Chains A and B, each alone.
Chain A
Amino acid sequence: MYAFTQHRPATVRQAASLLTKQEEAKLLAGGHTLIPTMKLRLAGPKHLVDLSKVEGLSGIEMKGRSLVVGAMTTHVEVETSPIMKESIPALAGLAGKIGDPAVRHRGTIGGSIANNDPNADYPAAVLGLGATIITNKRRIHADEFFKGLFETALEDDEIITKVQFPKVNKAAYVKFPNPASRYALVGVFVSKRSSEIRVVVTGAGANGVFRVTTFEEALKKRFGPKSIEGLTVPADGMASDIHGSAEYRAHLVGVLARRAVAAAA
């Protein structure tokens, strides 16, 4: 690991200021992507701005028709939150499928979304529920947030503080884990909120998380697995590696989407 200086700001404002002032500074949330990367010397930030002392970044609360989750809320908190399990059980279930119990005790929703790993689970839910990402500067709708592999709409000194999830009528997430890493080889999140239907895929896309509009259209007629029977996504836009070819991933998108719809319906 390369040497760095650590900072432990008490407010979001201080954290943002550190990001601006310090050269090669990086935010540290749960650290479960960044620390292993630093250990392997694949990342070498000069400054680490740790968010664990910042007040008010954790917790889950109902605000009107939305659930607001603090950026530093851990996966296990989302997984086990009674209000989450009651309001959006699919999201609680998704959080419970990330990594393993020890990882879920440290990993955070903000860290996962900001990193936008193409195989991560959370981006599927954020896009799949049409969530809004709240930062120290603005509100960004999920549709505008994810910009490709490890890329987001976040600016250099922008910090996610909360994620706001609207309650939906139906939702489910089905994950096919990469056997080795347990990240999603393919994960499909489906939701239905009155007339709005979302089918979102993580893990499979060559360019990160994406919506499958053909499936969404088909499901608008009737929200059931039969509606998308036989539908597929083109292998063209799929990622391909030793764990899954583009063809296999495209095939799994169809299978998992049907299973997710069945689970949600």
Chain B
Amino acid sequence: MSATGIGAAVRRKEDQRFVTGKGHYTDDVSRPGQCHAYFLRSPHAHAKIKNIDSEAAAAMPGVLAVLTGADLAADKIGNLICGWMITSKDGSQMKMAPHPAIAHGKANYVGDPVAVVVAETLPQAKDAAEKVKVDYDLLPALCDPAKAQDQGAPQIHEVAPRNTIYQWHLGDAKAVEAAFKTARHVTKLDFINNRLVPNAIEPRAAIGEYDAGSESLTLWNTTQNPHVARLVMSAFVGLAPEHKLRVIAPDVGGGFGSKIFIYPEEVVCLWAARKIGRPIKWVAERSEAFLTDAHGRDHVTHAEMAFDPDGKVTGLRVKTVANLGAYMSTFSSSVPTYLYGTLLSGQYEIPAIYCEVDAVYTNTVPVDAYRGAGRPEATFVVERLIEVGGRQMGVDPADLRQKNFIKTFPHQTPVIMIYDAGDYHASLKKALELADYAGLAKRKRESVRHDKLRGIGFSTYIEACGIAPSQAVGSLGCGVGLWESAEVRVNPTGTVEVLTGCHQHGQGHETTFAQVVSERLGIPLENVSVVHGDTDKVQFGMGTYGSRSGAVGISAIVKALDKIEAKAKKVAAHMLEAAEGDIVFEDGKFTVAGTDKSAAWGEVALNAYIAHKFAGQELEPGLKEGAFYDPTNFTFPAGCHICEVEVDPQTGESEIVAWTAVDDFGTVVNPMIVEGQVHGGIAQGVGQALLEGAIYDKDGQLVTGSLMDYCMPRAQDLPALKVEMTKTAAPSNPLGIKGCGEAGAIAAPVAVINAITDAIGTEDLPMPATPQAVWRALQKANDRRTAA
């Protein structure tokens, strides 16, 4: 390992600009002649729009335009789409309702845009928006997914009777039924996987600009995947042909999934910019972000696990109603299906699994992928059942897990996946030691002495990352291929630009990707630049989500580097007057095997361009190679998280007193960055378990519509985190990388809930386990004990 190569905790290249305030986020961009957009949004969850009178607003000072859904339709701007087709168990296709960028005819959630005002200044746009008169006809609102399919429930979209988008299933119902018939013990649980608001600290923003000379549009946008955004806005929304539409994703201040999707505001900024002939900027306010960023999770689930007399799991059945909100967001359909049902085997050998998922519309903000996306929900199901099952059967939860772990690989689960590598015993064992599981009983006694209750919770989770290969995801309904691209451009002086289709919004690609190149080419880290986030610079790419940038994005770079090396060897062969096959490339030097004849990397790069040593017929000048990498399988990061809590039974407050994480991410390029990803994921998982929950009232108003009511994790809510790793390399990509971005968020929620329920001695506890919720659970348990 070199000092900056694979495995080195290199300090991040990008930090210089971030710690000095020199980053360039979308809102930092100001275009000449820029004006401002303000969206007038429906204050009603469900209402017919009878009429919009914008005359008074249009006459207000500074107003350039007031545009509505009717204008959008008149210009034949297409609807937003969901790009993953799910087929129901009866063979019918999912019911995708029209999603215009500005509501037309009917508003379907509080926050649905009904008009946009464009003005010279933002205050002018806001003043004018107050003068737009919208005549609504209120309709009953539907917010509870559990009631969406009821007879007589409000119907949101014509295409979806009983608000049902699809009724999907996976697995073998009959085999599961047989398993339950012969089970010695069955554990049953009902729970809600709480709805979350992503809340990246940088709010979404967009600037649309039209250049009449070239008839082209440019969008600066807070997106995790600029090329996918361009593709959708070109091919489906129809704003401009792809070659006349440039999407720039500059520095992006966190995404967590919420900036994957194609949103109405960016479509409108582009469309209106062309109409008005001025650049148009829109920046979400936090309260607007609450009402418009795609939310996450929101599952209502019943699940049962069957055990044989030895405590071996023999069957699992799961029924989930997934709330997808008022419209189908870009990848929403895949989250509660192929990103959820396929992970229900966890780390365990489970012979039979059957999962049913009904996805429903409600009058709420669209729900889509949020850090983990389906996998935290699956992990919650499996890890709650096994924990509670262990407690009910009187078996130590760590022992029960070990008994059921998958031990040999590859392992075919009953739910599609083929796990290709892992060592679940290793991570559990290491975690038990680090967490001093042996000393728990003593710590519990100490807690009792100061009137606290102590508990421990495990989560031996698994995730499928990389989200690939393309053929596989295509067969499951995905509308795009999920490979990644890379281009390595070597300059005549030997410095290198790496173009990637991935996009960083906190992950540190500018450093890790450069580490891979630096090690391979034997050049200093500072001689490598990573270029991303601009469709005019990078030809195509799928963006960053699903912990895929390492496993897929870096693999594409490795493949391009293979080609660079091959070409450079040819150049070196000509320079050194040797056979190509005799050239050895090591530590940045090309040597003729068995001789002391050599050429340095820089000399070869220069010779590739001056082309004095070879004829054009023999070898093309230049040193630039591209690659598209499509993996052979998903990757399967897995590990063990252990949470230890102390509960104050008087107030219901839970304090996380210790956290141990042992993860297997395969090969790690930069352990400092990987640990940081784990920390952040845990914080989001702890947020879901203890603090965060989006709540709608019966009229469809988002009660938790600001940071005053929606609780984000603060520094005080978390302890110092113990994060360590084990390693089994992923066989499906050249470096053996598995991916690390989501692990913490997947593992953490159930570890917290398992810990608190252990502490308070009752399983009946909702998420988030707020002090009030814990206090109530204790009261209920007391009442039960008193009654008994």
Contacts and interface: CB of A to CB of B under 8 A. Distances in A.
State yes or no: do A and B touch (Cβ within 8 Å): yes
Interface of A: 1-3, 40-41, 176, 179-181, 242-245, 248, 251-252, 255
Given A181-B708, A242-B704, A40 B651 contact: no
A181 B708 CA distance: 4
A181 B709 contact: yes
Contacts of A1: 123
Nearest to A182: B714
A245 B711 contact: no
A112 B287 CA distance: 24
A179 B711 contact: yes
A180 B709 CA distance: 5
Contacts of B710: 180
A118 to B, nearest CB: 14
Chain A's interface: helix, strand, loop or mixed, by majority? Answer: loop
Contacts of A3: 123
A41 to B, nearest CB: 7
Given A41-B126, A248-B775, A255 B651 contact: yes
9 contacts: A40-B287, A180-B704, A180-B707, A180-B710, A180-B711, A242-B703, A243-B772, A248-B776, A255-B651
Contacts of A242: 695, 703-704, 709
Contacts of A179: 691, 711, 770-771
Interface string B683-715: 000000001000100000001100111111000
B650 interface: yes
Q: Which 9 A-B pairs have the closest CB atoms?
A: A180-B711, A181-B708, A179-B711, A255-B650, A248-B772, A180-B709, A244-B772, A242-B695, A242-B703
A242 B711 CA distance: 12
Interface string B104-129: 00000000000000000001001100
Nearest to A39: B285
Nearest to B690: A179
Chain B's interface: helix, strand, loop or mixed, by majority? Answer: loop
Given A242-B703, A244-B772, A245-B772, A176 B651 contact: yes
| Residue from B710, B771, B772 with most neighbouring chain A CB atoms (10 Å) | B772
A255 B123 CA distance: 48
Contacts of B776: 248
Interface string B6-20: 000000000000000
A243 B712 CA distance: 14
A232 B488 CA distance: 71
Contacts of A176: 651, 771
B676 to A, nearest CB: 24
Contacts of A244: 772
A121 to B, nearest CB: 16
Nearest to A249: B772
Contacts of B650: 255
B712 to A, nearest CB: 8
Nearest to A40: B287
A252 B709 contact: no
Contacts of B691: 179-180
| Residue from B710, B712, B775 with most neighbouring chain A CB atoms (10 Å) | B775
A180 B708 contact: yes
Interface in B702-739: 703-704, 707-712
Contacts of A255: 650-651
Contacts of B770: 179, 243
Contacts of B712: 180
Contacts of B695: 242
A251 B711 contact: no
B754 to A, nearest CB: 21
| Residue from B127, B287, B704, B770 with most neighbouring chain A CB atoms (10 Å) | B770
B768 to A, nearest CB: 9
A37 to B, nearest CB: 11
Contacts of A41: 126
A249 to B, nearest CB: 9
Nearest to B709: A180
A255 B710 CA distance: 25
A139 to B, nearest CB: 34
Interface string B243-273: 0000000000000000000000000000000
A255 B451 CA distance: 13
A179 B708 CA distance: 9
Contacts of A243: 709, 770, 772
A2 B712 CA distance: 29
B194 to A, nearest CB: 13
Given A180-B691, A242-B695, A255-B650, 18 more contacts: A1-B123, A2-B127, A3-B123, A41-B126, A176-B771, A180-B704, A180-B708, A180-B709, A180-B710, A180-B711, A181-B707, A242-B703, A242-B704, A242-B709, A243-B709, A245-B772, A248-B772, A252-B651
